[in-house]
Each structure stands twice: as C-alpha cells, then as structure tokens.
Amino acid sequence: MNRAFVFPGQGSQTIGMGRALAEAYPAARAVFDAVDEALGEKLSALIWEGDIEDLTLTQNAQPAIMATSMAALAALEAEGLGMAHVAFVAGHSLGEYSALCAAGALDLADTARLLRIRGLAMQAAVPVGVGAMAAVLGLDYDAVVALAAEAAEGDVCELANDNDPGQVVISGHKAAVERACAIAKARGAKRALMLPVSAPFHCALMEPAAAAMAEALAAVVIRTPSVPVVVNVRAEAVQEAERMRALLVAQVTGEVRWRDSVAWLRRAGVTEFWEVGAGKALSGMIKRIERDTVQRNVAAPEDIVALKG
C-alpha cells in the first residue's frame, strides 16, 4: 500500500467548507453534529454561514478545520475509500490531531474539545502584538536557522515550520522576527513576509500553552492508532499511545518538520498523498518536496466522484 492521508492545519479555513459534503453524505453531516455537541455550540453554523474573522480566531479555526477533515474522511469511508486503504497518516500542526482522530487514537468529541483548549491556550500564551511569525522564501533551512539565531538578540526567534525546500516559517518576539526578515532580505531571500497570525506558534513563547495541553491530554484516552502516525516534531512514524501524548505536548513549542515528514513517508514507500479536508496547501508543499509523488484533494463531493472514477 503506497498511500498516505494528510490533514491540513490553520490557514486553510474558509466560510462554507465541508457544507457540500454534509449535504451529500449523512456520515459527514454526523461529524459536524458531533463536534457541535462536544463543544456545546453550533460551530457548524459559524463554518457555513459565519464571518471569516470569527472563523479565523484560533479557538474556532482549529476545531473547525479538524471537523471538515473528519467529515471528508467520513465521506471517503462511505464510498469504501477510507482508512483501510492507507499505510500512514500525518497532519500539519493541528492537523496532527485530525490524523490521530482518523486513525482511531482519539475520539472525535475529545479531539474537538482538545483543539478548542489548544486554540484558547495558544492565544492566551502571549499578549496580542508581542509575538509574530514570518515566512522566509528562497533561503535554505540552515541559512534561516543562522539568521534567526542572529536576529534573536536575547529575544525568542526560532524556526516554527520547515514546510518545503523554499519556505521556512520563523516565530518569536515581534521585534526579533522583524529583524530576521530584514537580515533574510539582505541575504538574498526571495521574500520575507510577516504572517497575519494572532500569536507566535511553535516557539518557546508557547510554553504556557504546552502546560495547558499537558493537563488536557492527561485527561483523555489515547489508543494505539490503526496505522502509524508520522509526527511533526520527530518526522517519523509513531504508534505508541503514551509516546504520542508527550509528542503532542512537545509540538506546541516545537518545530513542525513537514519537509522531513514527507521525505520520511516517501522513503517508506508512499507515492500517493490524499489531502483530506479544506484547501490544497499541503499538496503544494508535498509536490515541491517529493516531485515524483501524486497528490489528490478531498474537500467536496466532486473530489470523491473523481477519485472513484
């Protein structure tokens, strides 16, 4: 089996995502209903009819993106195209929770509640305006590591996401991230742009959020996943439930090693990646990392029709 399911992270949210799936597949609709019940509110109404600024709030975006991914997976299962046909799963940042839910390691309701806690804790960890993130395009990984260290000057400035060969994201104190962007441009980066995010994710400033997630994760059951999960902070497959609990805590402050994760999957024999849920961001990254792979997207009923064809 040479297929992996991958699950998107924050930034892929759009108003209306998953609605056509819910209308076409009762199993997909049931996912949104279950997430609404777990959170005690109509998150589905916000996803389908709300304001994009409200949906983009971290505490809403995280469970919403997961719910859309799980609805897409439910539609795949209804068509006989689901988890029985994959060798591995992986997800980008919050998408790792989607991957664990897909593999049966986490219950859907627990996943929704954990992501609501995670979103709130990440937002609360750093006052608005104190932290920032930026994408550096066109410099290699080691060059960005070096310039981030140079720009820190006693502040936090760290690598947050190693997305693909030409895109590395840094995170930390706003002034340090701005200094890093200036250095990057001086060293020949194609672009170094501040990102429209509400907090500096995946850096040491998220330590309070990591503590909150350690407490929250200690209270939920994590089962052995049905297929190995390639985890962000290790860029390798893990199946031990207790190890996964610790790695999810580490992920809050740790680097999302997406480029290394995709390369690991390719070495393990994966040639086909299905991005399950909203957007196509991961597919683009994967194509740039491993050019000899095939990408498929599962975000709407017509995508599933094409896969069946």
Secondary structure in 3-state letters for the chain: CCEEEEECCCCCCCCCCCHHHHHHCHHHHHHHHHHHHHHCCCHHHHHHHCCHHHHHCHHHHHHHHHHHHHHHHHHHHHCCCCHHHCCEEEECCCHHHHHHHHCCCCCHHHHHHHHHHHHHHHHHHCCCCCEEEEEEECCCHHHHHHHHHHHHCCCCEEEEEEEECCEEEEEEEHHHHHHHHHHHHHCCCCEEEECCCCCCCCCHHHHHHHHHHHHHHHCCCCCCCCCCEEECCCCEEECCHHHHHHHHHHHHHCCECHHHHHHHHHHCCCCEEEEECCCCHHHHHHHHHCCCCEEEEECCHHHHHHHHC
Q: What's the pLDDT score for residue 197?
A: 87
Q: What's the pLDDT score for residue 198?
A: 84
CA distance 231 to 242: 13
Asked if residue 75 lies in contact with residue 7, where contact means CB atoms within 8 angstroms, the answer is: no
Q: What digits encode the pLDDT tens for the residues 29-41? A: 999 999 999 999 9
Q: State the catalytic residues.
A: 93, 202
pTM of the model: 0.97
Beta bridge partners of 137: 167, 191
Predicted confidence (pLDDT) at residue 265 exceeds the cutoff of 80: yes
Mean model confidence pLDDT for the chain: 97
CA distance 238 to 226: 11
Residues 6+ apart with CB under 8 A from 26: none
Q: What's the pLDDT score for residue 289?
A: 98
Kindly report the backbone phi and psi dihedral angles of residue 98, in degrees, each rounded to the nearest multiple of 5, phi listed first: -60, -45
Q: What's the pLDDT score for residue 167?
A: 97
Average pLDDT over every residue of 87-110:
98
Q: What digits encode the pLDDT tens for the residues 141-165? A: 999 999 999 999 999 999 999 999 9
Domains of the chain are: 3-125+205-308 (3.40.366.10), 135-197 (3.30.70.250)
Average pLDDT over every residue of 198-202:
94
Q: Interhelix angle for 26-39 vs 108-125, to 10°? A: 50
Q: What's the pLDDT score for residue 196?
A: 86
CA distance 129 to 158: 17
Residues 6+ apart with CB under 8 A from 154: none
Predicted confidence band of residue 1 (pLDDT cuts 50, 70, 90): confident
Predicted confidence (pLDDT) at residue 62 exceeds the cutoff of 90: yes
Q: What's the pLDDT score for residue 299?
A: 98
Asked if residue 286 lies in contact with residue 6, where contact means CB atoms within 8 angstroms, the answer is: yes
Predicted confidence (pLDDT) at residue 260 exceeds the cutoff of 90: yes
